[in-house]
Amino acid sequence: MHLGKYGERDFEERLVGISAEQILEVLEHNGVDKAVVVPMSSSLKYMPCIGKAVERHSNLIGLIWIDPRKFRRIDNILKLFSCGQFHGFKLRPESEKYNIGNINLLEPLMKAAEKLDAPVYIHSSQESPLSSPLLIARLADFFPRVTIIMGHMGGCSLEAFLVAEKHPNIFLETSGVRDPRLIQYAVNRLGAERVLFGSDYPYLSLKKEKAKIECLKLPEEDKRLIMGRNATRIFEL
């Protein structure tokens, strides 16, 4: 879920904003206990909002959205991570225009994630080749001890399933998947332990994303893994 404000009054008619209180209300309305929250962009000016929110609310789990081009030293990344109660990193190559398979660029961040035992969420869809499943596979090969969460199930391409099948450190996240049968396919192919529920709120509806999991023809234990137990393990909650 995205928390905070995004946009500049000089360029936008209004600032888009989601407060922690709004997120908590949405969680309660939908019967969800905890949420992973990220800022609206990688700009550091949005990070204090996340830090303060997770300090005030124990059911919010913070991730740092980071642009690896701006943090080329491991110690700087570790220092950034220590500034709040964060549990991992988010990357969105499409926004910052870098290639997720660029090992030299990603090495400081991935080594920091390995040292911290922190997962790395990577936005991956068919909107851009910069974070294709095959490039994420390259990253997973170089850093097999880092947990990588492939956002939006990599656009649900066959490559996403093949890559996750070959790399046990890659997990698939479900937000934005239009056909629930593809989530079912991922579970059948990888096991429920490798699939994570996500909503991408406010861009998508938490209610609708949750319904996709609830309608699956899976054992209740598998649904519980997808809807929370896997995240509890990965984020060490």
Query: For residue 10, what pLDDT is reported?
Result: 40
- pLDDT score recorded for residue 223: 98
Q: What is the 3-state secondary structure (H, E, C) of the chain?
A: CECEEECCCCCCCCCEEECHHHHHHHHHHHCCCCEEEECCCCCHHHHHHHHHHHHHCCCEEEEEECCHHHCCCHHHHHHHHCCCCEEEEEECHHHHCCCCCCHHHHHHHHHHHHHHCCCEEECCCCCCHHHCHHHHHHHHHHCCCCCEEEHHHHHHCHHHHHHHHHCCCEEEECCCCCCHHHHHHHHHHHCHHHEECCCCCCCCCHHHHHHHHHCCCCCHHHHHHHHHHHHHHHCCC
pLDDT number for residue 46 = 84
Mean pLDDT over each residue of the chain, to the nearest integer: 92
- Reported as a pLDDT band with limits 50, 70 and 90, residue 41 is confident
pLDDT at 16: 61
pLDDT digits (tens, 9 = 90+) for 103-136: 999 999 999 999 999 999 999 988 889 999 999 9
What pLDDT is attached to residue 11?
Answer: 38
Confidence of residue 194 (pLDDT cuts 50, 70, 90): very high
At residue 9, the pLDDT reads 44
Does the domain formed by 4-234 have CATH 3.50.50.60?
A: no
